[in-house]
Structure 1
Amino acid sequence: MTEVKRWTVSVFVDERDSRTYAEARLQAGDKTRLTYLAGTGQARLNPADKDIPEIGDELAVARALSDLGHQLLLTATADIQATSDRPVHLSR
């Protein structure tokens, strides 16, 4: 039987001064090697728009998850380069 890996992403959302902030934290790996990464995102309420908090949450979280995904690609690129003798270019 193959081992199932568990990667956990926790998302935290906070609102201050008409801005919504989000942080997406990844914990991945096993007992021998753990990886911790965090992505951040924010959204701001345009004064001309209706105040609908869910929209700010969605935008800020989407941006935090996108940032986290980009950091994960950079981490994978660095890991591949560490084991090879040539430059690595991963695309989204």
Structure 2
Amino acid sequence: MSRTLEWNVRLYLFEEDGTTKARVVLDTGTSSMTGHGTARCSPRDTDVPEIGDELAAARAMHDLAGHLMRVADHDMARTGT
């Protein structure tokens, strides 16, 4: 069996008062799921917005990966594989 799929991922970043929040949305065409991540700048650290973006985005993608793994585990259990 040969097939090709395209899944779309959108990443949204929001920054306010030293806190960066990220939301990543995976759209498979038949379903969607969302992951969230947050990064906070310590008052004693230099404020480098790019680092907050990177950390929040990575945490959101990690959260999304966990959701996707749980769905895959559920589907495998349901099909007996």
Query: TM-score higher than 0.5 here?
Result: yes
Separation in structure 1 between the aligned mates of residue 67 and residue 41 of structure 2, nearest angstrom? 27
Separation in structure 2 between the aligned mates of residue 8 and residue 26 of structure 1, nearest angstrom? 6
1:2-17 matches, within 5 Å, as 2-17=2-17
Corresponding position: 1:65 with 2:61: yes
After the TM superposition, list the runs of 4 or more consecutive aligned residues in structure 1 that deviate by more than 2 angstroms.
none
Q: Which runs of 5 or more residues in structure 2 are unaligned?
A: none
Higher RCO (CA-CA < 8 Å; seq separation 6+): 2
SS across alignment from 1:38: strand
Aligned letter for 2:22? A
Number of positions where the alignment pairs a residue of Structure 1 with one of Structure 2 = 80
What does residue 49 of structure 1 align with?
45
SS across alignment from 2:58: helix
SS across alignment from 1:21: strand
Point out the structure with max Rg over C-alpha: 1
Q: Which runs of 5 or more residues in structure 1 are unaligned?
A: none
Give me the CA root mean square deviation.
Answer: 1.3
SS across alignment from 1:47: coil
Decide which structure has greater helix share. Answer: 2
Corresponding position: 1:77 with 2:40: no
Q: TM-score, normalised by structure 1?
A: 0.82
SS across alignment from 1:37: strand
Separation in structure 1 between the aligned mates of residue 17 and residue 39 of structure 2, nearest angstrom? 11
Separation in structure 1 between the aligned mates of residue 31 and residue 70 of structure 2, nearest angstrom? 13
Q: TM-score, normalised by structure 2?
A: 0.92
> % of aligned pairs identical?
40
